[in-house]
Amino acid sequence: EVQLVESGGGLVQPGGSLRLPCEASGFTFTNYWMNWVRQAPGKGPVWVSRINSDGSSATYADSVKGRFTISRDNAKNTLYLQMNSLRVDDTAVYYCAKVRGGTDYFDSWGQGTLVTVSA
């Protein structure tokens, strides 16, 4: 059974940083591209970033480009999102999501971790 477990969320002041890990199990992590998707309270999901299977290529939404960095450690089956220069509008539940092989459809999601950016 695929399991994705995010952690690292919490309350941070504007301009601060957080690093979110997502531990993966139940599938061959190294075979899949991985993504981060966020959802602000009461709003729809918004894609944040994706990384390819070996970690050599990443893509970002314009809203986070230059501030967030996605990475992965395939030896530890763990995906990361380093978030710097956080803004109030980055407040959201952050989900890691596995793609359905070779596509950009998200067939498995973690339960999410809440990031609150507030003074």
Interacting residues with another protein (CB under 8 A): 35, 37, 44-47, 50, 59, 61, 95, 97, 100, 103-107, 109-112
User: 48 vs 83, which CB is nearer to another protein?
Assistant: 48
Q: What is the DSSP letter of 66?
A: T
Burial grade of 51 (CB within 10 A; 0-12, 13-18, 19 or more): buried
CB of 78 to another protein, least distance (A): 18
Q: Which residue has the tokens 């973690």?
A: 110
Task: Give the span between the Cα atoms of 20 and 80, in whole angstroms.
Answer: 5
User: 29 vs 94, which CB is nearer to another protein?
Assistant: 94
User: 13 vs 89, which CB is nearer to another protein?
Assistant: 89
Measured CA distances, 86 to 18, 20, 33, 56, 106 (Å): 8, 13, 25, 25, 26
- Tell whether the torsion through CA atoms of 82, 18, 76 and 22 is positive or negative: negative
CB of 10 to another protein, least distance (A): 18
User: 17 vs 89, which CB is nearer to another protein?
Assistant: 89
CB of 30 to another protein, least distance (A): 22
CB of 109 to another protein, least distance (A): 4
